[in-house]
């Protein structure tokens, strides 16, 4: 059995960044990836980048199948770049195979050439997450069922697409498929639409999505899924308790993703997993086994590529720095839902501020008041921010409008660096841009 200084299981965002960093320090690294179609991880191959490419091409008016072709070219290029980024390093080996723990520090890898065993001085688990398929009678067996990966590999556009789940994937794919021309129905058991958001925001978002042709059925309970030759029928109880049904030629399951720990052999180790299947870690991301860490989606919590990347920074701080950058250092994580237009947020919502008895003033600006929105011919949306009335520090912002996925990062920087709203208000911005909205939003 070979002893290795660093073993990384899974080619995810945090893991690959760590592998490169270690290689630059001449440290030996073994990166184990179970699929040669996944070099570079979930984000570049089957998640963020392909979905955003398809979303952009839908807005460009491209045909769905042509867009899929272009998306495949992009992911193949990125996959190859990612592979070489690591494999071309002299101290890194990328091993094709599925890894499994046989004890706390020993890994067995099922490769095309048989089982190989390695002992890792340090082991980093970066195996991501997998879609949750609800235990609804007939769902798993339905030949019309897709997860987000399969939805982006279709050879024809769904005519009638039913999406279960109105979360990130549900809403982004609903808007995208509606723009390509599918009839989209979204079912969610929650009766509140995007429940984290303030009502003045969620109402406009829902209205805009409905104007794209998307139908929502909220507060429902799905009873069963039945297949016929050419479609599936989902039978459900609506919010009034009435029995209803909807037919679709595809069903997209978008009801969350759970940490990918099932086949990792963790039962052979002392590594603890919580009730959501996530690996338990301390503030340095170390598991309860010394020198074994978990990175990204597999450790539970927020599932974003930039969180996995930041996990790398935490591990770097512990192994090569002063250990002061930890999970506790991380605050105010921004996010964007790439619907049409995008919804982006950081910090507190008004609902949350009220709930915690935090004093705030509300600043609101309709996107239609921003010259660049008129120029871009898309005046939908509203920008909203909460500011501390005494210190003028920004407490949070919800930006619903074009380019909000760029703007939110400025607000996030201001919050983290304690730059008051008055500075953003008085800043000179280029014109015409969406950023100059801050001159008016923070008046």
Ligand X SMILES: NC(=O)c1ccc[n+]([C@@H]2O[C@H](COP(=O)([O-])OP(=O)(O)OC[C@H]3O[C@@H](n4cnc5c(N)ncnc54)[C@H](O)[C@@H]3O)[C@@H](O)[C@H]2O)c1
Concatenated DSSP letters of 347-395:
E--HHHHHHTT---EEEEEEGGGSHHHHHTT----EEEEEE-TTT--EE
* Residue 162 annotated as part of some ligand binding site: no
Binding span for ligand X by CB under 6 A among 238-246, 254-262, 361-369, 371-379: 254-262
Binding residues for ligand X, rule CB under 6 A, total: 24
Indicate whether 55 belongs to the interface with ligand X (CB under 6 A): no
Write the CA distances from 328 to 308, 313, 332, 335, integer angstroms. Answer: 15, 13, 11, 19
Confirm if 296 and 314 have CB atoms less than 8 A apart: no
Of 222, 218, 221, which Cα lies nearest the Cα of 137?
222
Instruction: Output 126 or 435, the one with its CB closest to ligand FAD.
Output: 126
Confirm if 146 and 253 have CB atoms less than 8 A apart: yes
Instruction: Output 21 or 335, the one with its CB closest to ligand X.
Output: 335
Binding span for ligand X by CB under 6 A among 108-116, 253-261, 357-365, 379-387: 253-261
Cβ neighbours around 357 below 10 Å, total: 6
How many helical (H) and strand (E) elements, i.e. helices and strands, does the chain have? 13, 22
Indicate whether 126 belongs to the interface with ligand FAD (CB under 6 A): yes
Residue 240 C-beta: closest distance to ligand X, Å? 17
Which residues, 6+ apart, have CB-to-CB distance to 316 below 8 Å? 18, 21, 325
Binding residues among 276-315 for ligand X as defined by CB under 6 A:
303-304
Indicate whether 260 belongs to the interface with ligand FAD (CB under 6 A): yes
Per annotation, catalytic residue among 84, 290, 356, 431: 431
Distance of CA 298 to the CA centre of its chain: 13
CA angle 76, 343, 329 (to 5 degrees): 80
> Residue 13 binds which one of ligand X, ligand FAD, none, with CB within 5 to 8 A depending on kind?
ligand FAD
Indicate whether 139 belongs to the interface with ligand X (CB under 6 A): no
Binding residues among 281-340 for ligand FAD as defined by CB under 6 A:
295-298, 303-306, 308
Binding residues among 170-189 for ligand X as defined by CB under 6 A:
170, 172, 187-189
Give the pair of three-digit tokens for residue 321. 């720095």
> H-type helices in 181-223, by residue range?
199-211
Instruction: Output 95 or 358, the one with its CB closest to ligand FAD.
Output: 95
Binding residues among 236-255 for ligand FAD as defined by CB under 6 A:
none
Site string for ligand X, 216-235 (x = CB under 6 A): ------x-------------
Between strands 98-103 and 92-96, the pairing is unpaired
Of 388, 386, 365, which Cα lies nearest the Cα of 436?
365
Which helix H or strand E contains 335, and what residues bound it?
strand 335-337
Indicate whether 372 belongs to the interface with ligand FAD (CB under 6 A): no
**Treating both helix axes as pointing N-terminal to C-terminal, what angle do 199-211 and 168-180 enclose, rounded to 10 degrees?**
30
Cβ neighbours around 301 below 10 Å, total: 16
> Residue 358 binds which one of ligand X, ligand FAD, none, with CB within 5 to 8 A depending on kind?
none
* Out of 122, 257, 313, 372, the residue judged to bind ligand X by CB under 6 A: 257
* Out of 70, 213, 219, 256, the residue judged to bind ligand X by CB under 6 A: 256
> Residue 222 binds which one of ligand X, ligand FAD, none, with CB within 5 to 8 A depending on kind?
ligand X
**What is the rounded CA–CA span in Å between residue 315 and residue 17?**
11
**What is the rounded CA–CA span in Å between residue 279 and residue 127?**
11
Between strands 361-366 and 394-400, the pairing is unpaired
Residue 105 C-beta: closest distance to ligand X, Å? 31
* Residue 300 annotated as part of some ligand binding site: no
* Residue 343 annotated as part of some ligand binding site: no
Omega before residue 424 within 30° of 0, cis = no
**What is the rounded CA–CA span in Å between residue 408 and residue 343?**
10
Is 189 tagged catalytic?
A: no
Residue 321 C-beta: closest distance to ligand X, Å? 28
Site string for ligand FAD, 164-203 (x = CB under 6 A): -----x----------------------------------
| Binding-site residue set for NAD(+) | 165-172, 256
State the residues that interact with ligand X by CB under 6 A. Answer: 134, 164-170, 172, 187-190, 222, 254-257, 303-304, 335-338
Please list the active-site residues: 431
| Binding-site residue set | 52, 165-172, 256, 297
State the residues that interact with ligand FAD by CB under 6 A. Answer: 9-14, 32-35, 38, 41-43, 47-48, 51-52, 98-99, 126-128, 148, 169, 260, 264, 295-298, 303-306, 308
């Amino acid at each position: 059995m070979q002893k290795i200084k660093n073993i990384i299981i899974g080619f995810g965002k945090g893991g690959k960044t760590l592998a490169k960093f270690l290689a630059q320090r001449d440290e030996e690294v073994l990166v184990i990836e179970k699929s040669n179609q996944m070099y570079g991880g979930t984000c570049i191959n089957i998640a963020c980048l392909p979905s955003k490419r398809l979303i952009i091409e839908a807005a460009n008016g491209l045909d769905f199948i042509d867009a899929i072709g272009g998306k495949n070219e992009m992911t193949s290029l990125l996959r190859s770049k990612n592979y070489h980024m690591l494999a071309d390093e002299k101290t890194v080996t990328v091993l094709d195979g599925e890894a499994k723990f046989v004890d706390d520090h020993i890994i067995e890898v099922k490769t095309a050439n048989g089982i190989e065993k390695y002992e890792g001085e340090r082991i980093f688990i970066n195996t991501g997450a997998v879609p949750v398929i609800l235990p609804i009678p007939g769902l798993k067996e339905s030949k019309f069922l897709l997860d987000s990966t399969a939805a982006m590999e279709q050879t024809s556009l769904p005519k009638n697409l039913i999406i279960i789940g109105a979360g990130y994937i549900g809403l982004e794919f609903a808007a995208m498929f509606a723009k390509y021309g599918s009839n989209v129905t979204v079912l969610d058991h929650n009766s509140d639409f995007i429940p984290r958001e303030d009502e003045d925001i969620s109402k406009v978002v829902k209205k805009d999505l409905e104007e794209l042709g998307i139908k929502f059925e909220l507060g429902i309970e799905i009873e069963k899924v039945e297949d016929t030759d050419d479609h599936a029928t989902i039978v459900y109880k609506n919010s009034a308790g009435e029995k209803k049904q909807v037919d679709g030629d595809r069903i997209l399951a978008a009801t969350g993703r759970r940490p990918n720990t099932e086949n990792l052999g963790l039962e052979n180790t002392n590594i603890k997993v919580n009730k959501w299947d996530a690996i338990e870690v301390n503030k340095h991301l170390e598991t309860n086994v010394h020198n074994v860490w978990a990175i990204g989606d597999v450790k539970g919590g927020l599932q974003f590529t930039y969180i996995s990347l930041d996990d790398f920074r935490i591990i770097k701080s512990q192994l090569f720095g002063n250990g002061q950058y930890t999970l506790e250092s991380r605050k105010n994580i921004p996010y964007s839902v790439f619907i049409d237009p995008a919804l982006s947020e950081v910090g507190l919502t008004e609902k949350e501020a009220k709930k915690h008895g935090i004093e705030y003033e509300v600043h609101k600006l309709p996107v239609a008041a921003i010259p660049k929105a008129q120029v871009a011919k898309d005046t939908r949306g509203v920008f909203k921010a909460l500011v501390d009335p005494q210190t003028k520090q920004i407490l949070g912002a919800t930006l619903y409008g074009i380019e909000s996925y760029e703007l939110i990062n400025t607000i996030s920087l201001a919050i983290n660096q304690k730059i008051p709203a008055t500075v953003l208000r008085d800043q000179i911005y280029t014109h015409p841009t969406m950023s100059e909205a801050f001159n008016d939003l923070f008046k």
